[in-house]
Amino acid sequence: MVGTKRNWVRTRTSRTVPRPGRLITAALGLVLLTSCTSAPAAGPATSVVTSVVTTTAAPSATVPSVVVTVPAGPGAASTTAPVTDVPVTDGPATDVPGTDVPIIDAPTTDAPTTDAPTTPAAPAVPAVTWHTSFTSAATDVAPADRIGFRITNGTLASVKMTNDAGQPIKGSRIRGNTAWAAEPILGYGRTYHLVAVAVDGAKKKTQKRFTFTTLTPGNLTYPTAFPLDGNTVGVGQPVAIYFDEPITDKAAAEKLITVTPSPKVAGSFHWIDDQQVRWRPKNYWTPGTRVKVEVKIYGHDLGGGLYGQQDKTFSFRIGKSKIAYVDDNTKTMVVKFNGKTVKQIPVSMGSDKYPTYNGVHVVAEKYRKKIMDSSTWGLTGTGAYRTEVGWASRISSTGEFVHSAPWSVWAQGSENVSHGCINVSEENAIWFYDNFGPGDIVDISNTVGPPLRVWDGFGDWQLKWNEYRKGSAL
């Protein structure tokens, strides 16, 4: 509301003169006249016409004259008389004698303003964001790491990855076309380039480029294993993993080896030395068990900057239970297949000077012909020998075999005359050779010799279960 509006009420008998200095305003300078007629009253018919005058004047301005018409009564002619204007002057306000009507501020109402309808602005489309499994421009990315990326606020339109020779690297889009992963494991010391295009919610395409280089190892180790892939072995065969370099972080290596028997059985790792780790079940394998072994060392640090040269995966099967029990008290081998005795063989074992070791031996390998050389286990000079034998089955790495010994048939079943091997006749040697193989058990007891040691051949069963488990690095 501009200025201040005042309604001045004037009667025929009095006028109120504005106080000095007060502005009398009128919208746009016009005079607004409002008249009201009172209801007739008893007595002389008179009516007072009030004129509401709104004007704007300077303090010294003269208020315009207002003409008041007074009817003489019912049916009488109206008389008109001028109203004398009172000049407006500066100075104290003076009220003209008479009856004053108080000044009333008339309420004013601002008309509501109606804004024209507007269309709300479209929400901003969030930008595509990229999350990689590697650091762009890095020079030490491990090849075994999962190489890839994912995006938010968009989908992938295309992805291309190449190595430093320009060869394409295969990959797969996953997670509803919002992620990508390289399929092959990358090489050591190679540089890779990746270009990807994503589309956001507004169909706008965004291109992203990445470059990184994989680490170069200080040294590599190559794994080998036994049993071989596809072998059928006996119930006493441990899993053996061999490394061609010493492993300093054995725990890291163990975590990268998985042994999966079917049906599942409890088992444990046991380190024979820095380059060989074994795994065996708590008890002999159950015939028919299938075992899968995964050695996933490629791209991983096995300690001191030594990395795996390649992975190795193999599977084998457990055949029937074949155990030969050899007792020095009887000088006899009792052979049982799946718990049933199938054969008894007279034997001659190591003499008291060169006794056969006691305990559970496991057949490791077989030879149609084998040179027995005493120098391989330390015997030279007097008593040394170098002799070819037939149908030899190794049962320890220190030189114990079950083999043909025609020269000692006279002692077999009654006397021990060998340098530690189990002598049998040629006929029995052939039968043993044909029926026993890797993983089958030769359990020797009651000799004067010491127990077989865990590292000697597959001497894993020489340790009780709790002791064996202590050989794990985990």
Beta bridge partner(s), residue 360: 443
**Which H helix or E strand runs over 152?**
strand 148-152
Which tokens go with 85? Answer: 């204007």
DSSP string, 104-147: BPPP--PPPP-PPP-PPPPPPPPPPEEEESS-TT-S-B-TTS--
Residue 265 and residue 275 in contact, taking contact as beta carbons nearer than 8 Å: no
- Reference 45, options 19, 11, 70; nearest CA is 70
Distance, in Å, from the CA atom of 137 to the CA atom of 209, rounded to the nearest integer, reads 10
Residue of 107, 108, 101 whose CA lies nearest to 36: 101
Structure tokens at 200: 């956001």
Assess contact for 360 and 396: CB atoms under 8 A.
no
Contact 322, 435 (CB under 8 A): yes
Is residue 186 within 8 A of residue 142, CB to CB? The reply is: no
The residues assigned a catalytic role are: 403, 421
Q: Specify the DSSP class assigned to residue 252.
A: H
Q: Which residues pair with 257 in a beta bridge?
A: 295
Q: Are 408 and 428 in contact (CB under 8 A)?
A: no
Show Cβ contacts of residue 121 under 8 Å, excluding neighbours closer than 6 positions. none
Would you tell me how many other CB atoms lie within 10 Å of the CB of residue 10?
Answer: 17
